[in-house]
Amino acid sequence: MFTGIIEAVGEIVACEPRSGDLRLRVKTFGLDLAGISLGDSIATNGVCLTVIELPGDGYVADVSSETLANTTIGDWQAGTPVNLERALTPSSRLGGHLVSGHVDAVGEVLSRHPDARSERFRLRAPDSLAKYIAHKGSITVDGTSLTVNRVEGAEFELNIVPHTLEHTVMGTYVPGSRVNLEVDLVARYLERLLLGDKAAEA
Q: Report the C-alpha gap between 100 and 106 in whole angstroms.
A: 16
Dihedral of the CA atoms 81, 87, 89, 92 (nearest 10)? 40
Q: Report, as an integer, the average pLDDT of 42-70.
A: 97
pLDDT at residue 16 in the model: 96
The rounded percent of the chain whose pLDDT value lies above 70 is 98
Q: Which amino acid is at 117?
A: R
CATH class of the domain at 105-191: mainly beta
Residues ≥6 apart with Cβ < 8 Å to 174: 109, 112
Q: Which of 171, 131, 170, 181 is nearest to 151 (CA)?
A: 131
Fold matches, 8-86 and 105-191 = yes
Instruction: Please state the φ and ψ torsions of residue 139, each to the nearest 5 degrees.
Output: -145, 150
Report how far apart, in Å, the C-alpha atoms of 93 and of each of 83, 87, 120 are. 18, 12, 27
Instruction: Please state the φ and ψ torsions of residue 197, each to the nearest 5 degrees.
Output: -65, -20
Q: What is the pTM of this model?
A: 0.93
Domain definitions of the chain by residue range: 8-86, 105-191
Architecture of the structural domain at 8-86: Beta Barrel (2.40)
Q: Report, as an integer, the average pLDDT of 71-89.
A: 95
- Tell me the pLDDT tens digit for each residue of 151-198: 999 999 999 999 999 999 999 999 999 999 999 988 888 888 988 888
Q: Is residue 95 very low, low, confident or very high in pLDDT (cuts 50, 70, 90)?
A: confident
The rounded percent of the chain whose pLDDT value lies above 90 is 82
pLDDT at residue 90 in the model: 72
DSSP state for residue 88 in the 8-state scheme: P
37-63 b/e with 16+ CB inside 10 Å = b?
A: eeeebbbbbbbbbebeeeeeebbbbeb
Please, how many CA atoms are within 13 Å of residue 74, restricted to the half-sphere of its CB? 12
Mean pLDDT of the chain: 94
pLDDT at residue 115 in the model: 95
pLDDT at residue 186 in the model: 87
- Tell me the pLDDT tens digit for each residue of 21-42: 999 999 999 899 998 999 999 9
Q: Report, as an integer, the average pLDDT of 78-92.
A: 89
pLDDT score of 97 more than 90: no
Q: Is residue 201 very low, low, confident or very high in pLDDT (cuts 50, 70, 90)?
A: confident
Q: Are the beta carbons of 79 and 15 closer than 8 angstroms?
A: no
